Amino acid sequence: MVRVLYAEDDPQISQMVQLYFMSTAPECRLEVVKSGLKCLQRMAEDRFDVVLVDLMMPELDGLEVLGQLAARRDPTPVILVSGHGQNELAVRALRAGAVDCIDKNSAEFRQIPELVRRVHARHQALSSTPPWASVPTEVRVTFVESSQIEVVSVVKFFNRNAPGLRLSVVLPDAFGADLDHQLGCDALVLGSGLGTSLSLEILRKVRSRSGELPIIVISDTPKSDTAVAAFKLGAQDFLVKKDGFQLELVFSLNNALKHAATAQLNVRLTRELAILNQSLEGQVVERTRELRALSGRLLQIQEDERRAIAQELHDQIGQMLTGLRFQIEAGKKSGANLGEALQLTDEILGCVRTLTLQLRPRILDDFGLQPALEWHLDLFRRQTGMTVGSDFALPAGRMPGGIETVVFRIVQEALTNVARHARGAETNVTVVLAGDGNLIVEISDRGPGFDVERALVKRDSLGLAGLVERVQLAGGRIEIFSCAGQGTRIHAEFPLPAPAIAP
């Protein structure tokens, strides 16, 4: 959809243009405003692809609208709509930045939708043209001129007053013989000696090959019709040959080159920004996906822990409480001694205390990591009957709470896996502070071993996967080594901040 804004104070003209667009340009969406001021307001509020501006309007005329848009650096292409006898003003508007113009009293005014299509297509093509890296320090200007006197005059003036503009003179008869080479310049000047017809023909030919090359036309006649035709064919400027026009030509070339370089830079920056935005969006999507997966895994781990607690409560405490209820009921009916019930109650309380300590031992919060690890290893030995060696060398002071919790959980989960899969195997737990300030945690056993990659991707291996994620979330790194028949070794490292290892 091509969005078109038309500023026109004559309701009959605007209604007629709306009918033209409705009947011949359904892909265009036309919006009409009644003044130049309203046109500027709408362009500040929204984006349009092409703007049509009437030359004579109340409040702000077409020239003033163009001036305001130039001050805003608004790149939207503007087509000037003029009336009969307004050619001089039309030339001024084209020199001020309008990309084309059309006479509302002419027969071609009915083709205004087609003009909008061409301008929009040309603007898109220019926007997609690969930009120049920078304005060259020495500008190459091709000067097409048939008058030898004019060539000598212009070349002498440029050599003396504009040494940065290097002119290459080409005669009209020779121009076009090697057009690709001749257009390998930074700007093109068509001299007054060519005449109107030849200048416009060359301009048309060049524009069909190069849409961005700055072109300046010099004429020996101030006819506005010729100037309008030159601008409509894509000239950047139209100069009338008169005393001192060489200086005006230098100014015009510098201005055209500056605008071309700025436009090319804007295109390049827009492209780079679009690529950067696309890259950032991709990174955000990827990070969001990873965070969602991690959150899902953590929630799944939490649910698994809750499930384990529920199973323990059901299988042990639930059965004990059921037995206690039967004994108390029997004792109540027979008047029997309730000593066994009291003993069973003590067992239940002991079981609850043990379960609570396993979930979150108070000793970890109150005394720190090493006492908590020593307590847990002693409890593990008593519960399983297994022999577990230990080597602890930790700083006397407390470490960050998050690190202590993660290390405790690593040891707890690793020993749980040993009890399940490697019962009776020789097991060792090492937690030491290395010389480089890293905390080293290692649990090894001589059990049957397993396929690590396969275990990590299995959905029922939440304990191992949760252990890896705990370490990564705490800023550490973890490696798991295991092979069938060769045991298992879990190695984790955590960088500790300097204050955390101070005694």
Q: What is the pLDDT of residue 137?
A: 58
Q: What is the pLDDT of residue 232?
A: 87
Q: Give the confidence band of 310 by pLDDT, cuts at 50, 70, 90.
A: low
Domain that holds residue 369: 364-501
Q: Are residues 142 and 62 in the same domain?
A: no
If you average pLDDT over residues 141-162, what whole number do you get?
88
Domain closes at, from 260, 275, 298: 298
* Residue 158 belongs to a domain: yes
Is residue 46 within 8 Å of 18, Cβ to Cβ? no
Q: What is the pLDDT of residue 113?
A: 94
Q: How many domains does the chain have?
A: 3
Q: Are residues 370 and 384 in the same domain?
A: yes
The rounded percent of the chain whose pLDDT value lies above 90 is 28
Q: Are residues 145 and 118 in the same domain?
A: no
* Residue 316 belongs to a domain: no
* Residue 311 belongs to a domain: no
Lowest mean pLDDT among 25-34, 292-301, 378-387, 486-495: 292-301
* Residue 324 belongs to a domain: no
If one compares 177 and 171, the residue with the highest pLDDT of the two is: 171
Q: Are residues 124 and 148 in the same domain?
A: no
If you average pLDDT over residues 361-370, what whole number do you get?
81
DSSP 100-168: EEEETTSGGGGGHHHHHHHHHHHHHHHHTSPPPSS--SSEEEEEE-S-HHHHHHHHHHHHHH-TTEEEE
Instruction: Give the domain CATH number at 425.
Output: 3.30.565.10
The rounded percent of the chain whose pLDDT value lies above 70 is 85
Q: Give the confidence band of 43 by pLDDT, cuts at 50, 70, 90.
A: very high
Q: Are residues 183 and 277 in the same domain?
A: yes
Q: What is the pLDDT of residue 257?
A: 81
Q: Are residues 159 and 200 in the same domain?
A: yes
Quote the CA–CA distance of 496 and 302 in Å, as a whole number. Answer: 27
Lowest mean pLDDT among 86-90, 310-314, 418-422: 310-314
Q: What is the pLDDT of residue 502?
A: 42
Nearest to 78, CA basis, from 87, 67, 204 = 67
Predicted confidence (pLDDT) at residue 384 exceeds the cutoff of 60: yes
User: In this predicted model, what pLDDT tens digit does every residue of 210-268 receive, in sequence order?
Assistant: 778 899 999 988 788 888 889 888 898 899 888 878 877 887 787 788 777 777 777 77
If you average pLDDT over residues 406-420, what whole number do you get?
89
* Residue 333 belongs to a domain: no
Q: Are residues 53 and 173 in the same domain?
A: no
Q: What ranges in 25-86 are assigned the alpha helix state H?
A: 36-45, 62-72
Q: Are residues 162 and 20 in the same domain?
A: no
Name the average pLDDT for the chain: 82
Task: Provide the residue type at 500 as one letter.
Answer: A
Predicted confidence (pLDDT) at residue 379 exceeds the cutoff of 60: yes
Domain closes at, from 81, 99, 128: 128
Task: Provide the residue type at 303 as one letter.
Answer: E
Edge-first strand order for the sheet with 2-7 is 28-33, 2-7, 50-54, 78-82, 100-103
26-29-32-36 Cα dihedral, nearest 10 degrees = -130
Q: What is the pLDDT of residue 461?
A: 46
* Residue 331 belongs to a domain: no
Instruction: Give the domain CATH number at 112.
Output: 3.40.50.2300
Q: Are residues 121 and 165 in the same domain?
A: no
Q: Are residues 148 and 107 in the same domain?
A: no
Q: What is the pLDDT of residue 69?
A: 82
Domain closes at, from 298, 324, 339: 298
User: In this predicted model, what pLDDT tens digit does every residue of 429-466 receive, in sequence order?
Assistant: 999 998 888 999 999 998 888 888 887 776 444 467 77
* Residue 332 belongs to a domain: no
* Residue 483 belongs to a domain: yes
Q: Are residues 167 and 266 in the same domain?
A: yes
Q: Are residues 262 and 193 in the same domain?
A: yes
Q: List the Cα angle 49/52/56 in 5-degree steps.
A: 155
